[in-house]
Structure 1
Amino acid sequence: AGAGRPRVAVLAEYDALPGIGHACGHNVIAATAVGAFLAAAGLVGDIDGSVELIGTPAEEGGGGKEIIARAGGFDEVDAVVMLHPAGLEVAEHPWLGVRTVDVAYHGLPAHASAWPFLGRNALDAVVQAYTGIAALRQHLLPTDRVHGVITDGGQKPNIVPERAAATFYLRSAEPETLAELVERATAVFTAAATATGTRVELGWDPTPVYMPVRNNRALAARWAANVATRGRRSLPAGVIPGTLTGSTDLGNVSVRVPSIHPMLAIAPPTVTIHQPEFAEWAAGERADAGCVDGAIGLALTALDYLTDADLRGAASAEFEAAGGVLDLDAVVG
């Protein structure tokens, strides 16, 4: 809606979680985004600039926003606004970058009772790797996270496993520290192969890398002011520990254009995302009220950006001071 630049994009996520539905509240994200777009679209004709609604599927591991970005979906966008439902009101919060690695070990099969000395146990290698990662955690930065699951442990107990595999997520708060974490984890995976006489195969990034979110404080402050008119007071930055966080592909957008990703309370603080109870709250009356408040907050923030040259300048200056547009290929390597 509207015409030309500046242009604000409102992002609508809408995918659900297997088995527990909207336990991440993407239904609320989509509803607030659509509402914000419709509200802003009704007014943008009287001002210079435009507002755009972009549907962004596959946030839950698929990297949909990165795929849209690579296709040029944000090339003509000057700022991005969206929100995430939660149990607290937070205007800006750290979100970690994350890389995925599929780790497969290849050994030699043998009869586990009669001829075990002829085999090389791929499952032992996975166990060594898992244990090595567990030992590594003690020496990681407080904001680093590594977690994984074993996806293949062999076929039968009386066969030395010829193949075993695991998948790990590696998270960190900065692109540079994420790169260092990748190096350290790779050393663990390689050492496990050496110790067990197996061969390791590392499959990095089966889905796009998620970058840490670069919160734009100028825009986040305006969001906080706007949503306060709906009786919602955002907690100051830092009140919620930065270690209580996850990852989102909004990070990949935030290193391309100034972006915000505030949290909107639709549940009690004790109810966290990605569990069934949150899905119940995401379908309740408090979520309905949140959709209205969130849509108004996003719409006002988008309109403020279009009409306030000082806000645009502050958001742009902050973005450039943080490093400007990030070359993701150079960072990931």
Structure 2
Amino acid sequence: MLEAGAFDGIHAAMMVHPATKEYADHHTRALVGLRASYTGRTAHSAAAPHEGINAGDAATVAQVAIGLLRQQLLPGALVHGIVTKGGEAANSIPGAAELLYDARANSVKELAEVKKQLIVCFEAGAVATGASLHITEETREFSGFRNDQPMVGFYQANAESLGRRFDDEPLEKRLSEAASTDMANVSLAIPSIHPVIRVEAHGASNHQPEFARWCASEDADKAALEGGAAMAWTAIDLALDTTERRRLITVGESSGPGAEAADF
């Protein structure tokens, strides 16, 4: 959407996301998603295993390599994924297998190194088994999020006036728990904020089924309404503040999807 011009003429962007904590600014990791597809040769596992090329084994070798790689990853970097295809029957050597993995890092620059390491692990599976390998970028690269601090200040003041209370944790701890978002790319093009708003989830956390159920609660409805109101009031504040209005107009006219991402 960004590259297609959907944000052209837009001078600011905001959204809130449910969470178990509450922050007006949002720190995220850079991310890229890769799919590794192995092609081998199917054969009967008992009658003619020597005629097969085990694509499932290629995926296994890659996963072992990734597990060993984790000790040498850059601080803050993460690699995690799943097997999306591994075979059809126990008595048949799989001729096809697929892995879907995400790589994350503290910046786009560091992500490039982690991505390179992940690809080498995928290649190890192919080399070890003789299977062929095809790698595709499943998730477009996300940068880290660039918070617009004046907007953060307006949002926090407005949310606090509604009774919202923000967590105060060391930045190091927050970065250690950081996820990723495609809105980070938008934040490099135009001034943006992406606050997270607390939902009482009774011990559950994001991406757990229990958390999804609590997001349909009265407390979650209240959080969504108050987050929406705080963003609306922030938009009003930005429009009424002469200095901020001029700044956003100027920045909006000079920025775009090619904004520098190396440090985010």
* TM-score, with structure 2 as normaliser: 0.87
Number of the residue aligned with 1:211: 143
2:262 is the alignment partner of 1:327: no
Number of the residue aligned with 1:196: 129
CA distance in 2, matches of 1:267, 1:122: 45
Distance 1:99-1:267 versus aligned 2 partners, 3 A rule: same
Answer whether contact 1:104 1:166 (CA < 8 A) is retained.
yes
2:58 is the alignment partner of 1:125: yes
Number of the residue aligned with 2:152: 220
Aligned to 2:238, which of 289, 305, 308?
Answer: 305
CA distance in 1, matches of 2:251, 2:205: 31
CA distance in 1, matches of 2:224, 2:96: 48
Identity %: 34
Number of the residue aligned with 1:141: 74
Note the residue ranges of structure 1 that are not aligned, 5 or more in a row: 1-67
Cα RMSD, aligned residues only: 2.8
Distance 1:226-1:296 versus aligned 2 partners, 3 A rule: same
Number of the residue aligned with 1:295: 228
Answer whether contact 2:189 2:259 (CA < 8 A) is retained.
no
CA distance in 1, matches of 2:78, 2:242: 40
Aligned to 1:282, which of 188, 193, 215?
Answer: 215
Answer whether contact 1:219 1:259 (CA < 8 A) is retained.
yes
Distance 1:123-1:84 versus aligned 2 partners, 3 A rule: same
Which amino acid in 2 is paired with 1:248? Answer: T
2:94 is the alignment partner of 1:161: yes
Answer whether contact 2:188 2:260 (CA < 8 A) is retained.
no
SS at match of 1:167: strand
Residue 264 (structure 1) shift: 1.2
SS at match of 2:174: coil
2:195 is the alignment partner of 1:273: no
Aligned to 2:189, which of 256, 264, 274?
Answer: 256
2:34 is the alignment partner of 1:101: yes
Which amino acid in 2 is paired with 1:146? Answer: V
Residue 219 (structure 1) shift: 1.1
Answer whether contact 1:224 1:233 (CA < 8 A) is retained.
no
CA distance in 1, matches of 2:247, 2:21: 27
Distance 1:188-1:229 versus aligned 2 partners, 3 A rule: same
Aligned length: 261
Which amino acid in 2 is paired with 1:274? Answer: H
Instruction: Answer with 276-285 or 77-86: which moved more.
Output: 276-285
Q: How does 1:40-79 map to 2 (within 5 A)?
A: 68-79=1-12
CA distance in 2, matches of 1:214, 1:224: 17
Number of the residue aligned with 1:42: none
Which amino acid in 2 is paired with 1:79? Answer: A
Distance 1:73-1:224 versus aligned 2 partners, 3 A rule: same
Instruction: Answer with 309-318 or 209-218: which moved more.
Output: 309-318
Note the residue ranges of structure 2 that are not aligned, 5 or more in a row: none
Residue 296 (structure 1) shift: 2.1
Answer whether contact 1:216 1:315 (CA < 8 A) is retained.
no
Which amino acid in 2 is paired with 1:158? Answer: N
Aligned to 1:150, which of 76, 83, 94?
Answer: 83
Answer whether contact 1:142 1:243 (CA < 8 A) is retained.
no
